């Protein structure tokens, strides 16, 4: 049995800046046995930190996303139901095919004017004050408004929903996570039933209720709840962190910010570098060895947990020259910020569209944007990579 690296021993430094730890691990090899930090300190997993090995693992069918096959179940699956990120083919193929019928490229592209309008309204409110928390005033309300309108979710109590959502993706303890998942499950069940009773409407969730494949297949009520859950959570939490991490990277690299301001034609490339440099998802969700296998020569037993380090892989010195340097002229593609293989992020086009509109508009309307102080604490756990606040002035 390989030695276990206890990531919890690195303390708060690992949460704030995990890159030095990942670099140390990569120097010793691309795969390591680790104990997870925080409230998941009971869990031991294999952590993949090399780029090529991570890319291969993300597409390896021997690594299952459905833990039920090996007796593993998780809180959200028990209370919400199975969803895309916890399904394997053929179930995953079926679910993704059904949602792809409704969540089309045309639907995403049609959101552009509304995203621009929401962005402008948020800045109209924020900019006259001269200072604000970027997360609270901009990075969070933009994507949550977009995804709620896309799905047809009535305006929520934003503070309550934010607390539930963040606790699900970056749990601080088991009891609060349980309460958040229960509350979300109850809300989504009522929302879907309301939409069924209300009849046809032009929103994604209503389309998913009506969507039928050629063979007559449709999403069951439980599958609908799971789909709404993953679209609602993943559809905004990742974009919150993309916007916040991206702005922070620009403001802590003034030469890169100046280059972007001088030539907005660099924006698309800058967004790809933001995704590589400090992507919104630190590690992919759990995978399980459906059979004994080797990853980079390291034996993994059937049933063991594998974590693919997206952030770690995107800083691999073997893949990127000077990977710890933020360079908006670099072409980092294909990076792994949105994953790879059949579980590649369904919402990647929407996240890129929101980032393109939000960042350009923010930089144009706040030419003297600057940090007001250090960022707030980073989110706990190893799933999401983001900060709770970012004080700004202009």
The CATH code of domain 4-393 reads 1.10.630.10
370-393 mean pLDDT: 94
pLDDT > 70? residue 232: yes
Q: What single string gives the DSSP state of each residue in 149-216?
A: HHHTPPPP-HHHHHHHHHHHHS-S-HHHHHHHHHHHHHHHHHHHHHHHHH---SSHHHHHHH---TT-
pLDDT category at 1 given cuts 50, 70, 90 is low
**Boundaries of every domain in the chain:** 4-393
Separation between Cα atoms, residue 295 and residue 347, nearest integer Å: 28
pLDDT > 70? residue 195: yes
Note the pLDDT tens digit of each residue in 180-194. 888 888 888 888 888
Separation between Cα atoms, residue 144 and residue 369, nearest integer Å: 23
pLDDT > 60? residue 244: yes
Return the closest-CA partner of residue 103 out of 207, 234, 190: 207
Has this prediction a pTM greater than 0.95? no
Angle (deg, nearest 10), helices 254-262 and 267-278: 150
231-253 mean pLDDT: 93
Predicted local confidence at residue 176, as pLDDT:
78
Please say whether the beta carbons of 60 and 294 come within 8 A: no
- Report the side by side order of strands in the sheet with 131-133: 131-133, 391-393, 370-371
81-104 mean pLDDT: 86
Predicted local confidence at residue 149, as pLDDT:
87
pLDDT category at 71 given cuts 50, 70, 90 is low
Is the model more confident about 74 or about 377? 377
Note the pLDDT tens digit of each residue in 20-42. 999 999 999 999 999 999 877 78
The whole-chain average pLDDT of the chain stands at 90
Angle (deg, nearest 10), helices 158-169 and 141-151: 100
CB neighbours of residue 138 within 10 Å: 26
Predicted local confidence at residue 39, as pLDDT:
74
pLDDT > 80? residue 148: yes
φ, ψ at 320 (rounded to 5°): -125, 135
Predicted local confidence at residue 197, as pLDDT:
83
Predicted local confidence at residue 191, as pLDDT:
84
pLDDT > 60? residue 327: yes
Predicted local confidence at residue 297, as pLDDT:
95
Among the ranges 46-55, 160-169, 209-218, which has the highest mean pLDDT value?
A: 46-55
Note the pLDDT tens digit of each residue in 152-184. 887 765 666 777 777 777 777 767 778 888 888
The first and second tokens of residue 222, run together, are 């439980």
């Amino acid at each position: 049995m390989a030695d276990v690296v206890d990531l919890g021993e690195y303390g708060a430094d690992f949460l704030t800046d995990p890159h030095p730890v990942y670099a140390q691990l990569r120097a010793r090899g691309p795969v390591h046995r680790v104990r997870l930090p925080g409230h998941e300190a009971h869990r031991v997993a294999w952590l993949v930190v090399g780029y090529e090995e991570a890319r291969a693992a993300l597409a390896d069918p021997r690594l299952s996303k459905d833990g039920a096959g090996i007796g593993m179940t998780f809180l959200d699956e028990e209370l919400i139901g199975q969803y895309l990120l916890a399904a394997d083919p053929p179930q995953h193929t079926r679910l993704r095919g059904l949602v792809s019928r409704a969540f089309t490229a045309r639907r995403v592209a049609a959101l552009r004017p509304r995203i621009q309008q929401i962005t402008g309204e948020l800045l109209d409110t924020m900019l006259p004050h001269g200072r604000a928390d970027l997360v609270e005033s901009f990075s969070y309300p933009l994507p949550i408004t977009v995804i709620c309108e896309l799905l047809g979710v009535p305006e929520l109590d934003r503070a309550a929903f934010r607390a539930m959502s963040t606790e699900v993706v970056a749990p601080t303890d088991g009891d609060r996570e349980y309460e958040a998942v229960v509350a979300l499950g109850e809300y989504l069940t009522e929302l879907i039933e309301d939409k069924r009773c209300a009849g046809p409407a032009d929103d994604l969730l209503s389309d998913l209720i009506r969507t039928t494949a050629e063979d007559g297949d449709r999403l069951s009520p439980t599958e609908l709840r799971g789909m709404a859950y993953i679209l609602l959570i993943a559809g905004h939490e990742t974009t919150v962190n993309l916007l916040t991490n991206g702005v922070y990277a620009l403001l802590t690299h003034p030469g890169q910010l100046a280059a972007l301001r001088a030539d907005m034609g660099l924006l698309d490339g800058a967004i790809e570098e933001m995704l590589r440099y400090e992507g919104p998802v630190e590690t992919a969700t759990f995978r399980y060895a459906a059979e004994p296998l080797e990853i980079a020569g390291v034996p993994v037993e059937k049933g063991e947990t594998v974590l693919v380090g997206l952030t770690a892989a995107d800083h691999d010195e073997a893949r990127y020259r000077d990977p710890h340097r933020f360079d908006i002229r670099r072409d980092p593609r294909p990076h792994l910020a949105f994953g790879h293989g059949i579980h590649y992020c369904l919402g990647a086009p929407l996240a890129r569209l929101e980032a393109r509109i939000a960042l350009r508009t923010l930089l144009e309307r706040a030419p003297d944007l600057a940090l007001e102080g250090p960022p707030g604490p980073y989110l706990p756990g190893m799933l999401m990579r983001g900060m709770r606040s970012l004080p700004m002035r202009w």
